[in-house]
Structure 1
Amino acid sequence: MASLLQEELFERRGQAPAPSKDFCQLLVTRRQVIFRWWRISLRNECREARPGEIKESHEDFLDNSSLQIQIAIIFGAKVLEHVLNLCRGKFDFLERLPVPLLLYIISFLELEDIARLSQVSHRLKMICNSNALWEGIVENLCDTITPEMRELAQEMGWKQLFFTNRLQLQLQLRRRREKRAEEEKLTE
């Protein structure tokens, strides 16, 4: 399964916290953890400083607590935990799947499972709440979708349309028809 991974597993760039203004890059490949930094300072003694780089194998990185602390300070504890998991060989293949494939897989889940999956990560939350997913769910579960319903779904969102009860939906559609009729009278 690891052969499905690209050479570059993870990359993050950022600025070190104040008072430092150094720019840093963290890159995790299949074999190495690479930490790069560029000193940014107005002081004369720092102007000649060259960019720095540390390259370590995954095993060496797992033993280097000082580099781990530095990464946690700059990029945060969650990023450090993710990098540690990558170095230990714990890959999250679900997160790496392309969105169309994830939408296809999620479309087979029960609604409760979609709600649970949306709590796994920010990316999956966005996908589980996307109009593309809910449009497919509505089309699969509803017998007919009128152009008027499609228009309403575009305005309010397909997920909202799905969870709107039939009486409320009929009321909203009737209001839209009445509003259109009034607008047509005014334009005549």
Structure 2
Amino acid sequence: MASWLPETLFEIVGQGPAPSKDYYQMLITRSQVIFRWWKISLRSGYQSTKPGEVKESHEDFLENSHLQIQIALVFGARILDYVFNLCEGRIDFLERLSDNLLMVIISYLDIEDIASLSLTSHRFSKLCTSDKLWEPIVEATREITPAMKALAQDQGWRQTFFTKKLQLRKKKRNPENQETLLVQGVI
């Protein structure tokens, strides 16, 4: 299954923690961890400093606590954990799927499952609340008038879906509306 993975599994760039102006890059390939840095300083003693690079195999990286500390300082503990997982062969294949493919998969979930999935990561939160997902859901549940479409494009399709559901629940609670809703086949 790993054969379809790209050569570069992960890449991140960033600046060192303040007051540093140093610039860092980290690449995780299928076989190596590559950590690069560029010293940025106006001090005359550091102006001729050349960029640096460390290349380690995944196994060697797992043993190199000095490099691990550097990565944690520059990119944070969360990124270090992710790099550990990659080096140990624990690759999140779901994370590697395209947004379009994930949208197709998510569209088969129940509303409650979409809500749960949206809590798992920033990426899934963005996908689970996107208009691209909710427009077909709204269109499948009711007839869309041009006025509703304009409102949905203004408010968002997800908001329109839940607003309509709340309005229907209010109508169901009102005994005067129950007979009308029964006749219309809504309840």
TM exceeding 0.5? yes
Residue 162, structure 1, aligned to residue 182, structure 2: no
2: CA distance between counterparts of 1:81 and 1:167? 42
Displacement, 1:5? 1.1
Decide whether aligned partners of structure 1 residues 167 and 117 sit closer, same or farther in structure 2, where only a CA change above 3 A counts.
closer
1:38-89: per-residue Cα shift (whole Å, max 9, x none)? Answer: 0111112211111000000011001111100110000001111111101111
What is the CA–CA distance in structure 2 between the aligned matches of 1:50 and 1:166, rounded to whole Å? Answer: 62
- Give the Cα–Cα distance (whole angstroms) in 2 for the partners of residues 65 and 166 of structure 1: 54
**Structure 2 equivalent of residue 114 of structure 1:** 114
- Count of residues in correspondence between the two structures: 168
Paired with 1:27 and 1:33, the residues of 2 have a C-alpha distance of 6
Partner residue of 2:12? 12
Label 1:167 to 1:112 Cα distance change in 2 as closer, same or farther (>3 A): closer
Shift of 1:19: 2.9
Runs of 4+ in 1 over 3 A off after TM superposition: 165-169
The equivalent residue for 1:131 is 131
Question: Corresponding residue for 2:23?
Answer: 23
Corresponding residue of 2:147: 148
How far has the Cα of 1:93 moved from its partner? 1.3
Q: Which amino acid aligns with 2:81?
A: E
Q: 1:85–1:146: structure 2 CA closer, same or farther, 3 Å change rule?
A: same
Residue 14 of structure 1 aligns to which amino acid in structure 2? G
Unaligned runs of 5+ in 2: 169-187
Q: Which residue of 1 aligns with 2:54?
A: 54
**Percentage of identical aligned residues:** 62
Alpha-carbon displacement from aligned partner over 1:81-127 (angstroms, at most 9, x marks no partner): 11110111111111111111111100000111111111111111100
- By how many angstroms is 1:140 displaced? 2.2
Offset from partner CA, 1:158-187 (integer Å, 9 cap, x none): 001110136849xxxxxxxxxxxxxxxxxx
Unmatched segments (≥5 aa) in structure 1: 170-188
**Match of 1:37, SS?**
strand
What is the letter of the counterpart of residue 45 of structure 2? Answer: E
